[in-house]
Amino acid sequence: MQPQDTAIPDIIPDLQRAVRTALAEDLGSGDITAQLIPAARDARARVITREDCTVCGRAWVDEVFRQLDPALQLTWHCEDGEQVKADTVLFELAGNARAILTGERTALNFLQTLSGTATTAAAFAARTAGTDIRILDTRKTIPGLRSAQKYAVLCGGCHNHRIGLYDAFLIKENHIAAAGGIGSAIEQARRIAPEALVEVEVESLEELRQALDGGAEVIMLDEFSDADTRAALDLARGRAKIEISGSVDRQRLQQLAGLDVDYISSGSLTKHLRAIDLSLRIDL
């Protein structure tokens, strides 16, 4: 089992919950501005991206308008994971004007955030194209949008690390200290969940040797120099997968692409995203 082999749980319950929460915080007691429009008036609208991006979030947009008015008709002109140019029409809407305008901001918030995540992931993936390195996300996600952002990472061409605290061990410095050492921590992990992946974060070559002796499947090198990384790869070859983490931005990623590591993990995929600039245009 490898970090990116962990499948995202069914995202539909998370999706529906996230949309309900987002609509509730925006609607409150009701959309008073939408009441300016006659209740029976229909309209058409289109959503356009103002910049190049990798699209992600169709299901969240669909769910926003489904919860507001199931009779609204959405016509999509792109797929999740598709790279589109600025001024592309992403989708069109037809139906009740009040429902379209009430759902506009919530729908675009999901779409701009998840497309921003996917676009960032696509930029990271491009820097390791042609290598066997897999770029992994982390748990540094927007609260309440864990499964959504991890889905967006996949749409951008990168891979998922563990989904949460429940599906794999990641033994870090504080765990090691509290558990009585690397060997002891690994031994206890095997007793607690024998089938779960065991990964250990190490800060030196000596700790790497301890993790290898303990039988960790994946070893994360935290802030290793390139020279120590090469030494670690030699020590671990055939015994464990090597993951690089710590201060991995796009520039550092390009430098690391020449090293024969298995994984590079970066919180930047989900926490340093920039939302995509989108616009809804309505025709009454």
Largest distance between two CA atoms of the chain: 72
How far apart, in whole angstroms, are the C-alpha atoms of residue 14 and residue 243?
Answer: 29
Q: Are strands 83-84 and 134-136 parallel, antiparallel or unpaired?
A: unpaired
- Note whether 195 and 228 are within 8 A (CB): no
Q: Which two tokens stand for residue 187?
A: 């031994």
Q: Is 180 left (phi over 0), alpha (psi -120 to 50) or beta?
A: left
How far apart, in whole angstroms, are the C-alpha atoms of residue 280 and residue 71?
Answer: 19
Q: What is the phi/psi pair of residue 268, to 5°?
A: -60, -25
Cβ-Cβ contacts under 8 Å for 113 (sequence gap 6 or more): 57, 142, 145, 273, 275
How far apart, in whole angstroms, are the C-alpha atoms of residue 154 and residue 149?
Answer: 9
Strand partners, 222: 245
- Note whether 220 and 200 are within 8 A (CB): yes
- Catalytic residue numbers read 105, 140, 172, 201, 222
